[in-house]
Structure 1
Amino acid sequence: MARSLTLHGHDVIWTQDGVSAVREAGRAPVDLVLLDLGLPDLDGLAVCRAIRPLLPDAVIVILTARDDEMDVVLGLESGGDDYLVKPVRLAELHARVRAHLRRAEASRQGPPATLGDLEVDFVGRRVTVGGVEVRLRPREYDLLARLASQPGTAISRDVLIAEVWDENWFGSTKTLDVHVAGIRRLLAATGGGSMPTIVTLRGHGYRLDPPA
């Protein structure tokens, strides 16, 4: 994987255990982490939780042989943005890496969206509640920004997956639900008095309703 990613133009740092991974994460900024859960020294989920605050803006893609749905949820809730089950095809890996590194900001830049106490700054990629910044993972921000770009509009799951992740997405759409749940928890934890609501539209997708 390291050789293949290097040949595709990426600068790659490869570590072979969890302790080294955490140490490297604290040394230099990186854009994307491929994290294998089957490490020789530490639990991969613990490593994910350790490196997330060190690399708050990086995308973390978990690699594992575990394909149980609960493992998927635990991996994403530990700070991961995506989940690949081994063996991984290189073509799929490169497509997923490209999708995560691509930022479709050009179509989203404009004046901030203000919904009650919530403000989404598309240019600065910031989310504030009552003037206090809320730290979101990169994909959580992308998802919230997409919903906030059309408040009150029903957006299908297919559109959200295509625009926030990639139109050639290989993974489970469970990723979308986990990220929505994470955004809801973060916004609820801010204690904002006037907040929008992410409404689940069963069989269709989601809608961000402005506060009443």
Structure 2
Amino acid sequence: QLFCDFGEHFVVHDPTDTEPVCAFVQHISQGNPGIVTCVAGDGRGHLFCDGDTVMFSGVEGMTELNGRQPCPVRVLDDFHLEIGDTSSFSPYRCGGQVKQVHLPQEHSYKSLREALVEPKLQVSPPEELPRSRSLHVAFQALHAFREQHGRLPRPRAPEDAQRVLELAQRLAEQHGPVDEAVVRAFASVSAGDLCPMAAFVGGLAAQEALK
């Protein structure tokens, strides 16, 4: 098992991890809102989306846009973007680029103690949610069993599986009923090692440690 405690104020500096979209400016109107006419490097339409934040550079005439704080855009069509109020800016002459800016995003995550009590389970399809909830409780029951007995449940030992199930049912009062078959099967094989899975979890842990 692996838990990454990112804390309440975790900043993601590049939420998309993709190359920023860029286009060449052909015209910018004076108005509220201002309309930007632009094309991609190959002469085709731009690739911006509604809500993207952009910055301008190299604009001649309407130089107030150069180096200005990132502003959101609204896409009108493949060649036109709507930006903020440009009615008080100088008339546009020529040139310039408009480039997407990936703004940092702050996220808040629960601590391990909170996540154990109120897990955020993401499954597809939704029908798998009861099984995932049962496995979440089964892992906690497994830890409780190990604390009590100093070992993991023996493979295919009905009495050990029953004890894990009882612990899970006690814990399930906070999460709802558990699937008994899932918990029993989980307990029966929990002492085994799957080398490919161990390698994957180890690699994931190393990656998170490097971050």
Answer yes or no: same fold by TM over 0.5: no
TM-score relative to the length of structure 1: 0.25
| Structure of greater relative contact order (alpha carbons < 8 Å, 6+ residues apart) | 2
